Amino acid sequence: MIAACLALVAAGCVTPGRNAFRGLPDRHEFRDEGLTIHSDMKLPSSDPLIADLYRVRDQITEVLDLPNANRSVSVYLFRDQERYATYMQTAHPELPNRRAFFIGSTTELAVYAFQGDRVGEDLRHEYTHGLLHATLRTVPLWLDEGLAEYFEVGGTQPGALNRDHAHRLATALENGWRPDLQRLEQLDDIAQMRRVDYQESWAWVHFLLHEAPGGRALLVDYLKELQTTTVAPSLAERIRREIPSAEMRLMSYIATFATSSVGRSVL
């Protein structure tokens, strides 16, 4: 899964070309305030996928204390992987082969996905990107992905562990890996992000929301600033000032993942 937005392809961003809207799902449409779903197969308003998106929207608003989005997000849901892949290869041949995408432009915030075994996870992830870009004037790449990884897990309460990330990070820690948020902040191209970078981004978000004293307030205040600025300041510097030995605390938190199965209540 990947987010693409606004500017240059070299920066992990895409502007839809003239063929971008050919072959899109248009047989059925579900429209609600701030959300439009175009699909090959009809989705009733009671469909679990729609309920899931509502839940993500509510969780993001509550956990991150964000205002209602001032832009709508469009979801294009293809009936199967083959049709989705054909469209993406035609409309966006520059993009890698992924199950789902978020592509933002000045005219549309769009999610592309297909009906498959992991469609719920994919939609939660990409819709999170859409909501963030509909609310914030800018968002650092690592935080964009960290929040999307956080909210993709699903469930009635936010904060459940991503079991794969938890296991891999705990193993990496045993093998000598160490977190480095300053390095993450330097990444501005999605092609630069490795799997471990997604995992670390998720871990910092989870740590701030569930473990670090004052972490949630720090993150919420930072996101409020991103609502009005186009140049993101360093969150790593603020964490260093306000959370002593943050990297060591994060490593201790990651070490508990090996025996944890669910997240903790948001502070």
- 168-214 pLDDT per residue, tens: 999 999 999 999 999 999 999 988 999 999 999 999 999 999 999 99
- Is-contact 67 57, C-beta < 8 A? no
Please determine, for residue 239, whether its predicted confidence score (pLDDT) is greater than 60: yes
- Is-contact 199 146, C-beta < 8 A? no
Quote the pTM value. Answer: 0.89
- Is-contact 267 206, C-beta < 8 A? no
Query: For residue range 1-53, what is the model confidence (pLDDT) as tens digits?
Result: 555 543 322 223 344 443 344 699 999 999 998 999 999 999 998 999 999 99
Listed by start position, the domains of the chain span: 2-135, 163-259
Query: For residue range 94-113, what is the model confidence (pLDDT) as tens digits?
Result: 988 999 999 999 999 999 99
Q: What is the dihedral of CA 30, 35, 38, 44, to 10 degrees?
A: -30
- Is-contact 45 52, C-beta < 8 A? no
CATH fold of 2-135: Glutaredoxin (3.40.30)
Q: How confident is the model at residue 70 (pLDDT cuts 50, 70, 90)?
A: confident
Q: What percent of the chain has pLDDT over 90?
A: 81
pLDDT of amino acid 20: 46
Q: Helices (DSSP H) in the chain: which residue ranges? A: 48-64, 81-91, 119-135, 141-151, 163-174, 181-185, 195-210, 215-226, 235-242, 246-255
Q: Which residues contact 212 (CB under 8 A, 6 or more apart)?
A: 218, 239, 243, 246, 249
Please determine, for residue 263, whether its predicted confidence score (pLDDT) is greater than 70: no
